[in-house]
Every structure is written in structure tokens, then in C-alpha cells.
Amino acid sequence: MMSTQNTKTIVSTVECYDAWSNTYDSDGNILQLLDNVAFEEIAQPLLNSINQNSTKQICCELGCGTGRNTTKILHTGWSIIAVDISTCMMKKAQERVKQLEEQHMSSVSWIIHDLNNDNNELSINDSSVDAVISTLVIEHIKSIERFFKTIYRILKKNNYSWVFITAMHPNMYQAGSQAGFTIDKITGDKLCGISFDHSIEHIIEIATKTCLKLIKYTEKGVENEEHATNLGIRAKKWMGINIHASFLFKIQNNEI
């Protein structure tokens, strides 16, 4: 009898997301659905607000992926610096936003960059962006110390600058789950990128040490059976468990 026990193959982050790019937006990932809600609640109002002291507001998106959030940012009229490690994911994003750039008179600059490469600094000028958005990326970051130092370096040092970060909640990682996708529907075999289990406390601690002040923290999960049904079949096993975390940071006042 053939075994149906699924296996998990761990590959580099870029290899995983290059392979995942064709189905990333359609494979029923419940974290993306919860992430969309968090974005709407926290990041969207900030994007909609206009800073009168800035002629053209710039958002750096660390981990733009297939452009799921890039399109939302463009709709608000911000310019974007979109960063990702995967050329295949970025190609999907570029196709997604091509027409929007013309409609909204905003521009997107694209940078392929590995945030885990200690020998290659992200090529964005110091104190040059008004906001940083990084959703469902931090799980793949080896050194969050370096990650937050990069964010602080490129962020403008004023009262208006902000940082929105979301993450797969450690509850999922500790239950044996990590970012990846099914490559064989019969066996359930998965391809996963390299992930790191950063605790919520550690993320906040390192951000604080990097002169970023936590303004808002929220957790989301699968609330009940009805919520699970709305999210999709993969949500049922997570009922009653928080699986998504979001953070809003601003520059600490003594650093402005």
C-alpha cells in the first residue's frame, strides 16, 4: 500500500518563492486573508492620510511578492520602492501594477535584494522613505537586528514616518507549520523556504533597541467554525488559535 504521509522539503527562500509564484495568489493561504484584514485596519488609514510636509510620499515595501499590497499602496498615490528576493514573484507584481502606475501617476522602483545577505546593503538612501511595509516576511529573516537597522536607516526621522510589519504567529511555527506550498495534492508533500522562529517579545525588543516605538500590536486567528468556513478548508485546524501578528512602529521621539 502506498504511504500517504506527507513530507516537507526545505529549500532556500528564493527557490521556494520562485516555484510558488504561479500559485501564490490562488492556493487558499489563510494567512494572506488575515493579512489583508490587518492591512485594511492598520496600514490603509495611514496610507490614505496625506502628510502636508512631504511633496511625494514614498513607501518601501520589503518583500513585495506578487504585488498583493503594492496595488493597494499605488491606489493611494504613494510612490513605492518594491524589494524582493524572488525575480519570479516580482515579475508577477510588475504585471499586476503596470496599468495602475499610469492611472495614478505614481511610480514603482524595483529592487531584487536578499535581506539576509550581510555583505550587500540594501541600495536605498538613508532617511529617504516615509513608510516601510513588510508583510509575512520576517519569518524568513535570519537576523532581525540587521532587518530593523535597515528599516531605521532608510526611514525619515520625523513624527510622520511609520513601519507596518506582519508575521506568521509563533503558534503556527511551534505547531510544525511554516511558509510553503503543496507540490503534490495526493501525498500532501510541501516545499518550504528556510524559516526562523522569532518570538513576539523578541521582535518588539529588537525594534525598540533600534529606536522604533511600538504603537499598536494585534493578533488574529480563526475565531469559530463560521469564520473557518469563510477562510477556507485549511482554517479548520486552527480554530481558537492566534496565527497572525501585526505591528505598527514609529520613530522614538528622542531620535527625531
Q: How far is CA 107 from the centre of its chain?
A: 20
User: Looking at this protein, which amino acid is placed at residue 149?
Assistant: K
CATH 3.40.50.150 fits 8-48+87-251, yes or no: yes
Name 226's Cβ contacts closer than 8 Å, sequence gap at least 6: none
**Residue 254, pLDDT score:** 65
pLDDT tens, residue by residue, 117-141: 988 999 999 999 999 999 999 999 9
For residues 52 and 179, give the distance between their C-alpha atoms in angstroms, rounded to a whole number.
39
Q: Strand pairing partners for 251?
A: 212
Domain boundaries, the chain: 8-48+87-251
Confirm if 166 and 142 have CB atoms less than 8 A apart.
no
**Residue 183, pLDDT score:** 67
For residues 125 and 107, give the distance between their C-alpha atoms in angstroms, rounded to a whole number.
17
Per-residue pLDDT of the chain (256 residues; tens, 9 = 90+): 333 456 888 989 999 999 989 988 887 789 999 999 999 999 999 999 876 556 789 999 999 999 999 999 999 989 999 999 999 999 999 999 987 766 765 689 999 999 999 889 999 999 999 999 999 999 999 999 999 999 999 999 999 999 999 999 999 888 888 887 776 565 567 888 899 999 999 999 999 999 999 999 999 999 999 998 888 888 888 999 999 999 999 998 766 6
Using CA atoms, how far residue 157 sits from 162, 211, 214, 254, 255, in Å, is 10, 10, 16, 10, 7
For residues 2 and 243, give the distance between their C-alpha atoms in angstroms, rounded to a whole number.
33
Its pTM stands at 0.92
**Residue 1, pLDDT score:** 31
